[in-house]
Amino acid sequence: MKVVQAYRYALDLTPAQERDVLAHAGAVRVAHNWALGRVKAVMDQRTAERTYDIPDEQLTPAVSWSLPALRKAWNAAKQHAAPWWRECSKEAYNTGLDALARALQNWSDSRTGKRKGRPVGFPRFKSRRRTTPSVRFTTGTIRVEPDRMHVVLPRLGRLKLHESARKLARRLDNGTARVMSATVRRDGGRWHVAFCVEIERADRTPAQPGTVVGVDVGITHLAVLSTGELVDNPRHLNDARRHLRALGRALSRKTGPDRRTGRRPSNRWQRAANRLARAHARVANLRRDGLHKLTTRLAARYGTIVVEDLNVTGMLANRRLARHIADAGFAEIRRQLTYKTGWNGGRLLVADRWYPSSKTCSGCGAVKIKLALSEREYQCGTCGLVLDRDLNAARNLAALAAEYDTAGSGPVAGRGADQKTRPSGQVAAKRQPGTASAGQTGTVPPQGGTTNRVLTRAH
């Protein structure tokens, strides 16, 4: 099974190497801004001409947004736009032009309705100080040195790694991996190199292929499994808030940049900003490490995992819970489970967004009309079941897998989700299953929905 995977390593750059990388990142920005200015000038000119009732066939010719067209235009104008273009690799300019081509295409697809999700705005010019320095290499010499502590990139030469790249080197030596690109990026005050690699992965089977587990994510506990296991929420951001607040106040007392007057930041402000960036990066790394360990363990053990389709963007609109929801990383848990279940030969089923997992009794199937977020125990008025709210939801999620297997891949009768919860005492009818095979993600729509607002689904 071939998959595309990334290997990310920290770099220990010398001052000269850091200047070279920053120069390449500046070349990325210059090419992007030049091409964006050209496209925007033509669009503004055509808009102005239309105000004079000029026919479309007589308007200024439009420019193509494709990467080959932008690259051709850049090569024709780079002698005047960037006389120093020979000092950097051609991959730097290609990185900026490719980013602009993708941004323009996303903007166009969003306007025409081809792209789902939130509206995408028109691309903006890249700022020198606000843009994260990054450059991607797709051609040329890209390799890991035999000592596995150094990598070689085009024009940048031999760069030292902060840790050994033995995992990637072993796959490259065995011929089971092929490097497609390498991206150098500064994140949290530190430089990293990320290799995009096509890997031939061996077929795997979960340790318990016949088991089903429902995963209910929340704030009190990061995840509650239908087996009864409670995964604690580490709350990394909450623990670091005092330190971040102190660093932020120290930064505010320094002389920072001012765009109105053109004032440049002082060296002390820059050092304070780097300290604050490193603190935020540490929180993000701790969160990422914990989520990877959790999702890897679940995907390697259970054959079927059932999760909810949560509207995380809508949940973040709740100002009382937004910080805690963002710190937990609900969407990241589902994203990692999506591809890790495929790697391990399992399957991931996604319950419909309006499935009342918290309001449904896992014992008899009765559904409550209302369930306040403050009620941490589920008390069924029909069968008398008293159970933890999150554990009850996890068991209901696990029960969806049995209904999916019973119904097969064909649809069953149902009116679909209408965001209304049936009165208590009525047994939940069959849900309408989706289709999912091993290593794929399926959606299991419910028979009925719930009036429980998405903002209160933090459990």
- Please tell me the distance from the alpha carbon of residue 23 to that of residue 89, in angstroms, as a whole number: 10
231: Cβ contacts below 8 Å, ≥ 6 apart: 221, 222, 223, 224, 225, 294
Residue of 91, 187, 308, 327 marked catalytic: 308
Tokens 């949940």 belong to 315
Tokens 């947004």 belong to 65
Q: Are strands 386-388 and 377-379 parallel, antiparallel or unpaired?
A: antiparallel
Residue of 216, 232, 239, 375 marked catalytic: 216
Tokens 């497609």 belong to 180
Residue of 390, 403, 405, 418 marked catalytic: 390
Report which residue type is found at 143. R
Q: Is 378 helix (H, G, I), strand (E, B) or coil?
A: strand
- String of DSSP letters for 172-228: HHHT-EEEEEEEEEEETTEEEEEEEEEEEPPP---SEEEEEEEEEE-SSEEEEETTS
372: Cβ contacts below 8 Å, ≥ 6 apart: none
Of 117, 74, 64, which is closest to residue 95 (Cα–Cα)? 74
Angle between helices 67-81 and 90-112 (to 10 degrees): 130
Neighbours of 27 (CB within 10 A): 24
To the nearest 10°, report the CA torsion of 83, 86, 92, 97: 50
Residue 308 annotated to the active site: yes
Residue 390 annotated to the active site: yes
Which positions are annotated as active-site residues? 216, 308, 390
